[in-house]
Structure 1
C-alpha cells in the first residue's frame, strides 16, 4: 500500500503545525497525550497511523504518539484527524475551541 505521507508531505505538515499551531499541539498533548503539565509541544512526525510530538514536561523532553483511530489513505484526511484531536482536547480540558480549527499545509 502506498502512503500519502511522503517525506516532503511530512515535512510540510510538521512545519505547518510547528509554525502555525504550536498552541494547538500543546493543548492536544496536555489532554489526549496525558501530559497536563507540558509547557511546549513540537510535532516531530506524522504517518498514516498517527502523529508524533516531543513535549517538554518539567524541563524534560517526552515523546507522545497519538493514533488517528483509522489508517489514513489521503493527505487531506490528516487535517480532519488533527481537527478531531483538537476538538476532543478542548472538550476534555473545558476550553472553548477557536472559530478556525487547525489546518494542515
Structure 2
C-alpha cells in the first residue's frame, strides 16, 4: 500500500518534479493547462484531484490548475498518473 497524498507527500513530489522533470511540468502547463506559450513552469502542489502550477507566459506569471481524470488513491497512483499524462502530452505534440 502506498502513502496517501498528504501535504508532506505533495511537497516531496513537487520537489522531485521541479528538480528532475521541469520539462514535463512545462508540458503539463502547455497541454493540460491550455497555455501553449508557457516558457517555464513550477509544480506548487498536488492533491488527489489535481496539481497547481505556476507558469511564465509572455513575461507574466500565472497560476494553473490541472485536474486529473480520476481522484488519485495514493502516491503510487500519482506517480503512474503523472507518467501517463506526460506520455499522452508528448504523443499529442507529434
TM-score, length of structure 1 as denominator length: 0.82
The answer to whether the aligner puts 1:40 opposite 2:40 as a matched pair is yes
What's the CA shift for 1:84? 1.4
Where does 1:8-87 land on structure 2 (aligned, <5 Å)? 8-87=8-87
Q: 1:60-104 CA distances to partner (integer Å, 9 max, x unpaired)?
A: 11111111111112110001110111011112211xxxxxxxxxx
Q: CA deviation at 1:22?
A: 0.5
> Shift of residue 28 of structure 1?
1.8
- The alignment covers a number of residue pairs equal to 92
Q: Secondary structure at 2:44's aligned position in 1?
A: strand
Runs of 5+ unmatched residues, structure 1:
95-105
Runs in 1 of length 4+ with deviation above 4 angstroms? none
> Normalized per residue, which structure has more helix?
2
